[in-house]
């Protein structure tokens, strides 16, 4: 699968289970109703967080936000709300999940379904709020590294 290019997102949850996680297993499912999916390992803290709060937010990263992608994969970062102390973000109006500043777009989702996906769960969320940022280039993940959609 390293030969398949994907966009990079940071999934977040709010409330008592406030948490963030870098994810590239994310996709649009339906426009009517607006549905998206994300795949989260059953062993990930995010799995329990989404299951508990029944909602999540998605911040779609731009190509100058690789540092955020790396930060939210670092297991040494603080847990809970403290992991957002040094991150520019705001709480989402619908989910209270942190929305990272400077992103290409943001989605807030209400969990509607969870499906077995082997060692992952496939979470389907109905989009209850969305907005977009500037027209920067997207951050991609391909062949084990980060890349930009910018023309060379």
Asked whether the predicted pLDDT for residue 67 surpasses 60, the reply is yes
Q: Whose CA is closest to 110, among 52, 40, 51, 54?
A: 54
The confidence band for 25, taking pLDDT boundaries of 50, 70 and 90, is very high
User: For residue 2, what pLDDT is reported?
Assistant: 81
User: For residue 150, what pLDDT is reported?
Assistant: 75
**What counts of helices (H) and strands (E) characterise the chain?**
2, 12
Asked whether the predicted pLDDT for residue 152 surpasses 60, the reply is no
DSSP at 65: -
What Rg, from alpha-carbon coordinates, does the chain have?
A: 14
User: For residue 134, what pLDDT is reported?
Assistant: 76
CA–CA gap between residue 14 and residue 18 (Å, rounded): 4
User: For residue 151, what pLDDT is reported?
Assistant: 59
Q: pTM for the whole thing?
A: 0.95
Say how many CA atoms lie within 13 Å of 43 toward its Cβ.
Answer: 2
Structure tokens at 38: 């994300």
CA–CA gap between residue 149 and residue 138 (Å, rounded): 6
User: Higher model confidence: residue 91 or residue 149?
Assistant: 91
């Amino acid at each position: 699968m390293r030969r398949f290019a994907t966009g990079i997102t940071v999934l977040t949850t709010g409330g008592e289970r406030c948490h963030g996680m870098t994810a590239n297993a994310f996709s649009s499912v339906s426009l009517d109703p607006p549905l998206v999916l994300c795949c989260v390992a059953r062993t990930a803290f995010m799995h329990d967080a989404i299951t508990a709060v029944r909602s999540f937010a998605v911040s779609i990263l731009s190509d100058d936000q690789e540092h955020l992608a790396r930060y939210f994969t670092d297991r040494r970062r603080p847990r809970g709300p403290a992991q957002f102390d040094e991150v520019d973000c705001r709480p989402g109006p619908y989910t209270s999940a942190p929305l990272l500043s400077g992103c290409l777009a943001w989605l807030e989702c209400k969990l509607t379904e969870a499906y077995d996906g082997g060692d992952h769960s496939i979470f389907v969320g109905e989009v209850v709020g969305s907005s977009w940022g500037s027209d920067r280039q997207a951050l991609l993940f391909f062949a084990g590294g980060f890349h930009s959609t910018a023309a060379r």
